[in-house]
């Protein structure tokens, strides 16, 4: 007998309608690949993933994707189709003792009947290293086939040995059309959905529901259910769900963002690259995505200060001034009032001339310091503070620039072993063009 699990009893009971006490999103879970919406790269007819499951040839695997994209549903579909036992744990509440209990039962069943156990762990990223280590020997020995689900990048959240023994499958956010299909299906379904409630919903309400769900089918279905029950039936028992009901059910759009997870790094990367690409519209969009989701504005402005030097530098020296002014505004005014100061800085940085000459110059210096000798300061550049220093050659031969025309005189300022070394090479954009001309006038071809 297959171990009983919620929603996945023996085959003859699978087709029973789930109880109405369950949330709509749970009741509408697909019962087969043909009902599954989205993730065509995995579940479409003929795909290797689907063929392996249908053939009951299951590797250990990790489903990685945003919320509401089908990670748990795929695991439950596998439970319904596989000839293996299925044991499910949530990393939110389970511990090593729970793992040991499941694995002990898996070992027992493997000896008695030869049946393997699928160990499904939802939100595997919440297990610490010790808890993940506890799984590893039994995955390696084949005692269990591991399936994990996570919204976080497994490269950072799953230990390397477990990751190397698992296939990672990436799930994508559902498209608006896919969410709309799921919503319409739930409205029509008499058995598991809302069909028996005779729901009528306007296209504007559906459009808002789809957009606000942000590719998360669970959000869309839960909001649809709430809006439906909040709508009083008319004399003909019709429930006309309008835009207002949907808006109240959603309250506000919960932006998908994790200050310490992938979204944190992905969005700041998008902002930085949009700034570098001189696209003020995209830069404003990514800025707002972070700020409106509650990101620390000081984190954002620190990156803007860095960008001002790394990607603009002296092509526009005012860029650093603007970025630091935005930092001061965040400190002085606070949020949300300083959001416009951040927006002003972002637009300025995006539209400023770009140059990474300063970044490349410092990288060259850094490399020489780390890999080369730490040369002593040339004697003529040393300050002769005492008579002894003066007698030993400190400051001897130094030429004071202000004593020469144009306040400039050629002299060697680097250690002898680095003579002629060129670190800073100005670009040809913005203020750097003036710098290049000035250097060429002073140093000729040496720095021109």
pLDDT at 3: 41
CB 149 within 8 A of CB 119: no
The answer to whether the CB of 304 falls within 8 A of the CB of 320 is no
87: β partners: 119
Main-chain dihedrals φ then ψ at residue 308, nearest 5 degrees: -60, -35
CA distance 317 to 352: 10
Distances (CA, A) of 309 to 230, 321, 402: 54, 10, 29
Q: Name residue, tokens 């509440």.
A: 93
The list of the chain residues with pLDDT below 70 reads: 1-19, 252-262, 448
pLDDT attached to residue 258: 60
Q: How many residues does the chain have?
A: 448
- Assess contact for 293 and 299: CB atoms under 8 A: no
- In sequence order, which residues have a C-beta less than 8 Å from that of residue 247 and are 6 or more positions away? 208
Q: Is 21 helix (H, G, I), strand (E, B) or coil?
A: coil
Arch. (CATH architecture) of 376-446: Orthogonal Bundle (1.10)
How much is the pLDDT for 14?
Answer: 46
The CATH topology of domain 262-351 is: Zinc Finger, Delta Prime; domain 3 (1.20.272)
The yes or no reply on domain 176-250 and CATH 1.10.8.60 is yes
pLDDT at 58: 82
- Which of 86, 87, 82 lies closest to 55, judged by CA? 82
Say what the pLDDT of residue 255 is.
Answer: 58
* Token duo for residue 61: 């695997």
Residue 236: Cβ within 10 Å count: 6
Domain boundaries, the chain: 32-170, 176-250, 262-351, 376-446
Q: Is the dihedral of CA 304, 309, 312, 318 positive or negative?
A: positive
**Cα angle: 14, vertex 65, 71; to 5 degrees:** 10
pLDDT (tens digit, 9 = 90+) per residue, 21-38? Answer: 788 988 898 988 888 999
Q: Is 283 helix (H, G, I), strand (E, B) or coil?
A: helix
Q: How remote is the C-alpha of 104 from its chain's centroid? A: 37
Q: What's the start-to-end Cα distance of the chain, in Å?
A: 83
What is the enclosing helix (H) or strand (E) of 121?
strand 117-122
Residue of 379, 377, 378 lying closest to 392 (CA atoms): 379
Token look-up 């945003």 returns 66
> What CA–CA distance (Å, rounded) separates 401 from 378?
17
Q: Is 386 helix (H, G, I), strand (E, B) or coil?
A: coil
Rounded distance between C-alpha atoms, residue 72 and residue 83, angstroms: 18
Contact at 8 Å (CB) between 423 and 365?
yes
Give the pLDDT score at 9: 38
CATH architecture of 32-170: 3-Layer(aba) Sandwich (3.40)
DSSP codes, 362-382 = HHHHHHHHHHS--PPPPGGGS
- pLDDT tens per residue across span 98-115: 888 988 888 888 888 877
109, 110, 115, 121: CA torsion to nearest 10: 80
Q: Quick one: pLDDT at residue 448?
A: 61
What is the value of pTM for the model shown? 0.62
- Residue 425 CA to residue 361 CA, distance in Å, equals 7
Separation CA 387–CA 63 (nearest Å) = 74
For residue 325, the model assigns a pLDDT of 95
Q: What is the pLDDT of residue 336?
A: 83
């Amino acid at each position: 007998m297959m171990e009983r699990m919620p929603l996945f009893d023996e085959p003859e009971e699978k087709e029973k309608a789930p109880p109405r006490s369950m949330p709509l999103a749970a009741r509408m879970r697909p019962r087969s690949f043909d009902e599954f919406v989205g993730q065509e790269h995995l579940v479409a007819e003929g795909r290797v993933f689907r063929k392996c499951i249908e053939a009951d040839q299951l590797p250990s695997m990790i489903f990685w994707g945003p919320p509401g994209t089908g990670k748990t549903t795929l695991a439950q579909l596998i439970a319904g189709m596989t000839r293996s036992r299925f044991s499910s744990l949530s990393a939110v509440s389970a511990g090593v003792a729970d793992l040991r209990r499941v694995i002990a039962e898996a070992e027992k069943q493997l000896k008695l009947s030869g049946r393997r156990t699928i160990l499904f762990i939802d939100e595997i990223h919440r297990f610490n290293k010790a808890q993940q280590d506890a799984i590893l020997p039994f995955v390696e020995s084949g005692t269990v086939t591991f399936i994990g689900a996570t919204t976080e990048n497994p490269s950072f959240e799953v230990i390397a040995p477990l990751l190397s023994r698992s296939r990672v499958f990436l799930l994508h956010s559902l498209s608006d059309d896919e969410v709309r299909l799921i919503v319409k299906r739930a409205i029509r379904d008499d058995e598991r959905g809302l069909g028996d409630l005779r729901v009528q919903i306007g296209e504007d309400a559906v459009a808002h529901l789809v957009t606000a769900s942000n590719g998360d089918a669970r959000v869309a279905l839960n909001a649809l259910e709430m809006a439906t029950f909040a709508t009083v039936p008319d004399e003909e028992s019709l429930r006309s769900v309008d835009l207002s009901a949907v808006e109240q059910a959603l309250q506000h759009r919960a932006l998908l963002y994790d200050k310490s997870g992938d979204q944190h790094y992905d969005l700041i990367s998008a902002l930085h690259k949009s700034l570098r690409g001189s696209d003020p519209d995209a830069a404003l969009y990514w800025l707002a995505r972070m700020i409106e989701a509650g990101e620390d504005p000081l984190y954002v402005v620190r990156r803007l200060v860095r960008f001002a030097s790394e990607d603009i530098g002296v092509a526009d020296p005012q860029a650093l001034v603007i970025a630091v002014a935005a930092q001061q505004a965040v400190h002085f005014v606070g949020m949300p009032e300083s959001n416009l100061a951040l927006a002003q800085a972002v637009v300025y940085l995006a539209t400023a001339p770009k140059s990474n000459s300063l970044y490349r110059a410092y990288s060259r210096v850094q490399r020489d310091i780390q890999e080369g000798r730490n040369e002593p300061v040339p004697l003529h550049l040393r300050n002769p503070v005492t008579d002894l220093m003066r007698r030993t050659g400190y400051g001897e031969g130094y030429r004071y620039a202000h004593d020469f025309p144009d306040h400039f005189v050629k002299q060697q300022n680097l250690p002898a072993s680095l003579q002629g070394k060129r670190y800073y090479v100005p670009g040809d954009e913005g203020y750097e063009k003036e710098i290049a001309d000035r250097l060429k006038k002073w140093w000729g071809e040496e720095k021109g």
